[in-house]
Amino acid sequence: MLSLSGLVAFLIVFGALAYHRASLIIFTVSFALLFIIATKLTGLTVGNIICWIFFFLIFIPLNIKRLRYRLISKPLFQFYRRVMPSMSKTERDAISAGTITWEGDLFRGNPNWKKLLAMPKAVLSEEEKAFLEGPVETLCRMIDDWDITHKRLDLPPAMWAFLKEQGFFGLIIPKQYGGKQFSAYAHSQILVKVSGRSIAAVTTIAVPNSLGPAELLLHYGTEEQKNYYLPRLAKGEEIPCFALTSPTAGSDAGSLTDHGIVCWGEHQGQKILGIRLTFNKRYITLAPVATVIGLAFKLYDPDHLMGTKTEYGITCALIPRHTAGISIGRRHFPLNSPFQNGPIHGENIFIPLEWIIGGSKKAGKGWVMLMECLAAGRAISLPANALGGAKILSYAAGAYARVRRQFNLPIGRFEGIQEPLARLAAYTYLMDATRTFAVSTIDAGEKPSVASAIVKYHVTELGRKVGCDGMDIFGGKGICLGPKNFLARGYEGAPIAITVEGANILTRNMIIFGQGALRCHPYVLSEMEAGRMQDFQAALPLFDKAVIKHMGFALSNIVRSITLGLSGALFVSAPKGVMKRYFQHATRFSSVFALLVDVCMLVYGGKLKKKESISARLSDIISFLYLLSATLKHYDDQGNKEDDLPLVQYACLHCLFSLQESIDGIIKNFPIRPIAWMLTILIFPLGKPFTKPRDSFNRKIAQLMMTPSETRDRLSAGAYLASVPENPLGDIQDALLKSIEAEAADKFIRTAKKEGKVSGYTFTDCAQAALHQQLISEEEFDKVMQATEARRKVIAVDDFSEEELCGKKN
């Protein structure tokens, strides 16, 4: 058996079983049959005797539970309980919140692509379409962002009234309470359209429909609370805000100092059991105009008036604005974006216990409630806001790159512009695909806690990069504020989305992998739950079941990683078509990720959660696998349009290169160098296969963006593109169409001047000379002049008198 042929047979059987993740019993039976056949063929040789000793030493103990407990599981469990990381209650609540969707398949190292493509598409109902085409379109026409951001520093009263009358504050509230009860996709699409027009307007709509009183009431409120507040919130009779952040508790909600003490007090002339609150909140959106405040605070009951507990933990309550002792109304001014935002203070405010959301039985459940709601909401509001800006930029930048001329050429002909233009467009496609995939899972009934963190982080980060690329393309046009500038306020406001609903640094370094590793890994959570059990003997069988499967899982990922690395994943089963190789590469790196997770957990142990740079890179790997999956599904859902391939392939290559670099970063920073060398061999046996997208993609994508096409229309679908006087995008599109129509005549005139056939100080002079000499027709001259005028209108920037700029009246 130890001959070369025997060794090859051993490795083939072992590799095949490990690759396909065979169970322990299948491994045992397979090797028993292999050794029996070898013994039958060659007799009881020294090699066969060694094989049988190996079999009895390894497989027999693994298959006899008592022996396995004693020799393997019990020592491992004792060690595991010693090194298992501690976890605060807020951490445990955050980890347990929400559900696991596609990211769980990616964590397991062998994603089922048929399952992905069979997931329901995001669709709008007829009612939702009518709302987008009616009230949302009307709202977009009403918006004058310069008036909002420079003059009023607020939405105009007519717009506030319109939002209330049309039900914009009740998008998520069920119809039985007077709300719209729209899908997550419709909710997202509404925000996408409005965000391209005004950050202040979209934020005003987003907050009442995001994490706040309405959603908390829907899931946790008492019937009395729902029946009173939800109809009033749906009609806009109540304007809500939710106050969580305080000066000492930003990302670390566990450090809240806002507190409430259970005590007796007087309310409406009666002595009742209630809570005396003291709090200091800041950064609270809609606070200056809110009529009802959702408040998060820590609840204490030192006199045990509610029960036996002294500390209940984070609790959420609804408090009317007029409650005595509340100080509210002052405003913050976040990056020149004047949506209503400000601090709230309260000192010794007494409220009834019944004001706790869900009543007194929900005391101390506030953090769980917030995390469960955030698990879905985080994937909707801020990603939609970022995407709305990206869509109008991708639509406008391509047109501007063809309309704007320098050195007698459209600037889009220069490679220096093609690069950011292609990146901007491909990132927009990636953002749209990721956002759409996430909200479709929410509409399928999921609360994708890990996926929502991935989406929030990456879509807002990509939005920031898109804004920078847009600024580079528009140049001076982009930096001059005024009514003609549709770019700068979004560019200014990008860090707002980066900062709120979980700061992006926290999200990347701690949440995505920290929560994902426990929730998505097939065995880690079961091992930790067993480790926390007080009864060692009762916990041991649970730990044993998980850890034996975990060992097989890790062994399989080692084999899969080296096999897929050597073969380039060429033989992996994947959907047929032009994108097949991207599916195969994703399968390869999914196995690599599963391997890396186990190796990092083994080497770092409980210290891994403090190794933020390693955790962040692991977050990047699972994130880019998710983004890659979303891109492949989006392309399939849109009908595999061949014209879109440059965008899709650029996005896929960006994901593959980015996750490859994150893997390389983990290996290069691994503390035990022999393990790092071994990982390099297992993961990159033939070297790193991916580079950044080639320059040829830049040229192809730039051409798509600079030409009216179905690809450009699909990319910008959902943005407000109406050709009306108040929308600069209409002017840009008009200039693009006129420039294309006049292109031949334009080129002829410039060539004629170069050859000395016509002369003039300006292009208009040359065009008139060409007309006078009958080198061009009157129709051609008119087209050229119309294109020239449209171009001048588009490249124009605003200027102001001193009084206008300072907001003074003449």
The token duo for 73 is 């599981």
d(CA 781, CA 788): 10
d(CA 262, CA 275): 4
d(CA 583, CA 37): 39
Other beta carbons less than 10 A from residue 336's beta carbon: 15
Q: Tokens 């005549």, residue?
A: 745
Q: What are phi and psi of 342, to 5 degrees?
A: -175, 180
User: Annotated catalytic, 461?
Assistant: no
Compute, in degrees rounded to 10, the torsion defined by CA atoms 203, 205, 207, 210: -120
Residue 96 in contact with residue 562, Cβ under 8 Å? no
Q: Tokens 């220069």, residue?
A: 414
Give residues with Cβ within 8 angstroms of 268, minimum separation 6: none
d(CA 100, CA 118): 17
Nearest to 205 by CA among 239, 244, 246: 239
Residue 594 in contact with residue 553, Cβ under 8 Å? yes
Residue 645 in contact with residue 575, Cβ under 8 Å? no
Residue 173 in contact with residue 214, Cβ under 8 Å? yes
Separation in Å, CA 310 to CA 262, 299, 306: 10, 9, 9
d(CA 98, CA 519): 10
Give, for 409, the enclosing helix (H) or strand (E).
strand 409-410
Nearest to 520 by CA among 87, 115, 93, 105: 105
Helix segments in 157-300, DSSP class H: 157-165, 184-195, 199-206, 213-220, 223-235
Residue 201 in contact with residue 159, Cβ under 8 Å? yes
Rg (CA), the chain: 31
In terms of Cβ atoms closer than 10 Å to its own Cβ (0-12, 13-18, 19+), residue 359 is middle
Q: Which of 215, 419, 446, 501 is labelled catalytic?
A: 501
d(CA 479, CA 488): 6
Q: What are phi and psi of 302, to 5 degrees?
A: -65, -25
Residue 631 in contact with residue 455, Cβ under 8 Å? no
Q: Could you list the active site residues?
A: 501
